[in-house]
Amino acid sequence: MSTVEYNFGLGGFHAPTPIVPPAGVGDPRPMHRITEVRQEQGVSIRSAARRMGLSMQEVRAQEHPTADLTLSQLHRWQEVLEVPLADLLIDSSGPLSTPVSQRAGMLRVMKTAKALAECADDPPVQRLAAMLISQLVELMPELQEVSAWHSVGQRRTQDEMGRIIERTIPDSLFGDSGS
């Protein structure tokens, strides 16, 4: 892109002056650490997309470390991941803050406890799992709404369509009915 200066005193145009980007612009340097925090928090791409009202492709593009996101996009990520905004922006070479790391650990323990409670057949194991869940909720009440690890993948509700709906079936699979 270039600019054109108009000189009112001389009544004419000057030669176009190119705008040179500052040094470092266009460098593929990390801008955020959304992917790392999302994984630490145990939030899937599908779940993030659903919560943000975006397609999974848009979520993948936004979470790419070199994506230059707007403040409103970062705020949406902060709400979905339930972490301080600063934890999304800090240098990617540094570790997650202690509170975020501890919360992520508690989240994983709760998912494991709920999975154990779901699959336990033995009453004493069921009681232990229930006790563990109640103790975790005592420590962090927001863990009450956490679901168990999914054994085969995330289950869809009946009003959700899978990726298969996006694909067409080639006519060649049905054979040639004209012969």
Instruction: Provide the percentage of residues in the chain whose pLDDT is more than 70.
Output: 64
Surface-to-core class of residue 137, CB atoms within 10 Å of its CB (0-12 exposed, 13-18 middle, 19+ buried): middle
Give percent of the chain with pLDDT exceeding 90. Answer: 22
Number of other CB atoms surrounding residue 171 within 10 Å: 9
Average pLDDT over residues 126-147: 90
Q: Compute the distance between CA of residue 158 and CA of residue 78 in angstroms, rounded to an integer.
A: 28
Give me Rg for the CA atoms of the chain.
25
Total residue length of the chain: 179
Predicted confidence at residue 151, as pLDDT, reads 61
The class level of CATH for 29-92 reads mainly alpha
Q: How confident is the model at residue 30 (pLDDT cuts 50, 70, 90)?
A: confident
Q: Is the pLDDT of residue 27 over 70?
A: no
Confidence of residue 90 (pLDDT cuts 50, 70, 90): low
The residues spanned by each domain of the chain are: 29-92, 97-149
Average pLDDT of the residues in 98-103: 80
Q: What is the pLDDT of residue 10?
A: 45
| Average of per-residue pLDDT values in the chain | 75
Mean pLDDT, rounded, for 50-65:
92
Mean per-residue pLDDT for 140-167?
69
- Alpha-helix runs per DSSP H in 42-168: 45-52, 56-63, 71-81, 85-89, 98-119, 123-139
Which is higher by pLDDT, 11 or 45?
45
Contacts of 16 (CB under 8 A, 6+ apart): 2, 3, 4
3-state secondary structure of 176: coil
- What six digits make up the tokens of 33? 């650490």
